[in-house]
Structure 1
């Protein structure tokens, strides 16, 4: 990689440590000491070479030419941002001599900054401006400047989003660009966004925009070997996408969450080769005792009055099912969308991934097998098909985004249905087999597992109608109601899927039985059940109180000489002691445990 190319997603300052420094520091990374400091064996290195080769056909990396093109695009956008900030400064009566030095900069974050973006992936970017340039300027005069650029197409300003963003295609590269203004007169090119005091006196939208960069950079600072981290993360991301569990909006994990899980694995096995890290990833998280949270470091002792994830203070945080906490202040749970069903699906995928990597490391299988997508449509006998339709391609893009953002609410409603034990949403979007004339349609499928009853006669009309009504209310609130837009939802059996999908999606391949056996509805080997990889009838999901009771059996308090109560927790094979200042005479703690 060229020096120029490394500027946007190179190792942060101080991370180019020599091997001995890594060995000395590795024990101190993370919430606990490392599980193993073992160095790679020849077999581990060979399996890592094989892993790297197995990833190549999947387009997980770009050529030097493609990487250089991205760098050139970012250089041009950076120059445009500086030009725009200077023009705005002059328009606001700043002397030209001063405007020449106010600066401004484009930062990158997400998969590109981590160095794990796929071929053709978009770039997450952040425009940082000085205090006299505001968000109104960004969504007016900067958008106007972009419209004049011949390289810019598909320009969309989404000002009302939770994190306001400008989306565009710049010379063939998709860009999602956020905005933040700092309480500073100038933005120098060498500014490091790590300083927590930069957040002081900022509005919440700027804080959220900055946090993308701050979290990404902190992840890179907290892993002992960035090259091993990157290769392992590329593999895990590909596996998650192939297995249909890569989607934050639908209740699975998004890119930053997967990155944090891999980073935690790297902390626990700091000297392991990438192939070993992939195997240990599945080992650790197939045994992780959710809802104990995953943290990469102790929470920062900073108080700028921004809300942070803390179940001791925020009651709602105690109900998060699979918390993975961002390492930069203000700490947030990156997985608050996870539901009982999506967690159950991911837990089973972790278990199957561990079994598969055990076979790979012992020579019984190759890495290609790990990346084989399962057939979702042979897993269930019942489905809900969701169909979002519009009269034009432009309308459909916006409509699909709105509908998809609400699907997780339907999943939650289905989970509350006493007759349903699992609602498995497939993130893949499908085109209809027989499209309607002058209509653009997109389909999603939800696999259902019903509770075993002697006579199964389930009416899902109320759940479905409530969901469609919610989508239309949201469209009305967002003022996006347009003629031709509609959402249909139907309960269908597997044999009816041929009306919606081509035959190749419906072929079955019987290899063995799987059955749901745990309280979360996850899968394990069983007999007399459905095809391999399918969800058979799970046990009924226990109440929250029952789950809390199970969790409390894994937690005990110990009083120290000074009267401090410590909570002792077992998480996988890692023993954690976290001090919580509990009253000496209090009963069993009900707080969620930071582990």
Structure 2
């Protein structure tokens, strides 16, 4: 992190930009390493690049109070324009490309083996900070960048008032779960007899999700959209988590490979060493319409 702060020119302005971008990512369901998205550190690396490239030496001396809306809007616009057009499917992103060139080919292979996006840590051994990403979540992140670029292209951004409005509209963009391409939902219900047990149970289940995501893509060749939060229910002893898929619910139900993937996840979850008899993990495959109907019933309780 120290090398990151040296790179950003102005830590206060960098922190302000990072807070804004993280808020946007959370609102759009694109934040959270355990759910296949980017970690806070990966977002920080991207923000550091923007500050280093577009924040002049003179501007970097300003306090956050002196830094204008116009200048902040410019950083935000550069952020989304830069990463919406970056070739994430083939290229690696590094703050120090020349330093990365010095690492061995075997170390580079390790970087490429994990993660569908490659955002390299600025310090040796240059680990991939985006190693949790899958093809499905990478594409959702790219679409999120592009969505903001399209928004800014569609509104006036001339005056300070325009730019303030633009910044507010970006933050107000909310996640679209499930999006229009998804046709089915696998909903997991997680329960236990008390909240402490449930928290421990959920923590373990989170650590297993990445393996399931990989199986869905590599074994079944399915595109998915994962929620970026496990939602606690009103009784506090139960939580729910949903993953949307681009195929119909009947396809999921009839696919032998997917059944094996679900069973594999269940076996991994139930291998938790601290599991008690009250810890339950169940799943239900349903259509988008049925899932939305069930969500409405729960929200009206």
Q: Distance in 1 between matches of 2:74 and 2:252?
A: 46
Label 1:485 to 1:323 Cα distance change in 2 as closer, same or farther (>3 A): same
Alignment of 1:174-213 (within 5 A): none
Q: Show structure 1 runs of 5+ residues with no match.
A: 1-215, 302-308, 507-595
Q: Report whether the alignment pairs 1:279 with 2:77.
A: yes
SS of 2:93 mapped into structure 1: coil
Q: Report whether the alignment pairs 1:243 with 2:28.
A: yes
Alignment of 1:414-425 (within 5 A): 414-418=216-220, 420=222, 422-425=223-226
TM-score where L is the length of structure 1: 0.42
For the 8 Å contact 1:310–1:317, the answer to whether it is kept is no
Partner of 2:91: 292
1:442 is matched with which residue: 236, 239, 243? 239
Alignment of 1:84-483 (within 5 A): 216-271=1-56, 273-290=71-88, 291-298=90-97, 310=103, 312-314=105-107, 315-319=109-113, 320-358=115-153, 359=155, 361-362=157-158, 363=162, 366-372=166-172, 373-377=174-178, 379=180, 380-418=182-220, 420=222, 422-432=223-233, 440-450=237-247, 458-459=254-255, 460-473=258-271, 475=272, 479-483=273-277
SS of 2:125 mapped into structure 1: coil
- Mark the structure with the bigger radius of gyration: 1
Q: How far 1:466 moved relative to its partner?
A: 1.3
Structure having the higher helix fraction is: 2
The Cα RMSD (Å) is: 3.0
Larger relative CO (CA 8 A, sep 6+): 1 or 2? 2
Q: Show structure 2 runs of 5+ residues with no match.
A: 60-70
Q: How far 1:392 moved relative to its partner?
A: 1.1
Q: Distance in 2 between matches of 1:456 and 1:468?
A: 16
Q: Distance in 2 between matches of 1:311 and 1:370?
A: 41
Label 1:387 to 1:260 Cα distance change in 2 as closer, same or farther (>3 A): same
Label 1:310 to 1:493 Cα distance change in 2 as closer, same or farther (>3 A): farther
Q: Distance in 2 between matches of 1:310 and 1:333?
A: 13
Label 1:334 to 1:470 Cα distance change in 2 as closer, same or farther (>3 A): same
